[in-house]
Amino acid sequence: MLHGVDVSSNNSSYSAKNQDFVFVKATEGRSYINPYQNAQAAKAREAGCVVGFYHFLWPGNIAAQARYFVEKCASVQGDVLICDWERTREGTYATNAQKDQFLVEVSKLRPTAHRIVLYCNRDFWLHHDTTSYAADGLWIADYVTAGKPRIKAKWLFHQYTDQPLDTNVANFSNKAALKKWAHAA
């Protein structure tokens, strides 16, 4: 198992030491941009990590959100692009069809050089998802033993705790395999 963290503007300072990958929140909806994303990604790149960027999906205006994400995230070729599908602060969430549309739109906007991944928690995967569409891979949040999420679906990344920050494992044999996968799109 490989190890990684995901960070947002709440983690303006973090350590990429001993990490294999770092996923950085880039955008949310159609108006928020993480002001630290460039510095957070640079720290991860300096540590030799695979880098990914995620967009917190809101319901509505899906094509516009996809455009906003790919235009505002600090990605370079080989970075993973991620749809973060969960409840908003208001308790709303994008529908399953909107989640699928976002993944497809990002794939159309970035047809090469990026893997596209779905992030969601176990509850969303089991009770809101109806298509099992996760583009190039599933990143599942389930706060149990690392690498043992309680789902039957094939997953690539597992967020298993949020203490002291969001901590994850990846289902790749080594960092070279993860890098090869990330750059194969």
pLDDT tens string 11-52 = 988 999 999 999 999 999 999 999 999 999 999 999 999 999
> Hey, what are 8's tokens?
């947002």
Q: Which residues contact 97 (CB under 8 A, 6 or more apart)?
A: none
Residue 120: predicted pLDDT: 98
| Whether the Cβ atoms of residue 103 and residue 64 lie closer than 8 Å to each other | no
Query: Whole-structure pTM over 0.95, yes or no?
Result: yes
**pLDDT tens digits, residue range 103-115?**
999 999 998 889 9
CB atoms within 10 A of CB 77: 11
**pLDDT tens digits, residue range 105-141?**
999 999 888 999 999 999 999 999 999 999 999 999 9
How does strand 32-33 pair with strand 157-161? unpaired
Is the preceding omega at residue 35 within 30 degrees of 0, hence cis? no
